[in-house]
Amino acid sequence: GQNIDQPTEMTATEGAIVQINCTYQTSGFNGLFWYQQHAGEAPTFLSYNVLDGLEEKGRFSSFLSRSKGYSYLLLKELQMKDSASYLCAVRSGGYNKLIFGAGTRLAVHP
Amino acid sequence: DTEVTQTPKHLVMGMTNKKSLKCEQHMGHRAMYWYKQKAKKPPELMFVYSYEKLSINESVPSRFSPECPNSSLLNLHLHALQPEDSALYLCASSPMGNNEQFFGPGTRLTVL
């Protein structure tokens, strides 16, 4: 079966750091993506991990542990515009097929 | 050109209508995708095209009919839809191989 779990909602303060966790159990694994989606808009790519470890990209970092089926997205120096849903997606099987988690709605407040 | 475009942005249709959604990209991507997204839910894959050929159909009802006339265009033909088909329909594209997918802004479909 395919199962990707993320917290439903999180809140954080502007300027702070927040970590969004994702655990997965999938029949295949060929990489994990994080996407950001503002309400009513398209998902936009944030990060990609296929090997264990940390990938850093400006204010955003993503970590992967394949043995634990676990990833997290770390957002630093939070800004109000970071209020959005964050989707964890596992590439499983051929043809670049992505399976999305339900998403984590992050609310950043002053 | 580094974006995926979709038309129309909004579509309202009756259950007996026939309509089409259009997706276009000029990034030279040879893989294109249709997703359906209900409110507060993640995108769900419907179809994948690779080199203009249908590679994946995720058991989508036949009232949804995809078409890829060329490497830049992807259509989704709609016929006899149900109210529960109301959703945001997202198109995406990617280079072949294991690469990130670029999403279009979506078409918000309402079936009355």
B2-35: per-residue pLDDT in tens? 699 999 999 999 999 999 999 999 999 999 999 9
Residue A2: band (very low, low, confident or very high) from pLDDT cuts 50, 70, 90: confident
Q: Note whether A46 and A74 are within 8 A (CB).
A: no
| Distance from C-alpha of B105 to C-alpha of B34, rounded to nearest angstrom | 12
What is the 3-class SS of chain B, one letter each residue?
CCCEEEECCEEEECCCCEEEEEEEECCCCCEEEEEEECCCCCCEEEEEEECCEEEEECCCCCCEEEEEEECCEEEEEEECCCHHHCEEEEEEEECCCCCCCEECCCEEEEEC
Cross-chain Cβ contact A42/B105 below 8 Å:
yes
A:B CB pairs within 8 Å: 55
Cross-chain Cβ contact A48/B100 below 8 Å:
yes
Reported as a single tens digit per residue, the pLDDT across B27-79 is: 999 999 999 999 888 999 999 999 999 999 999 999 999 999 999 999 999 99
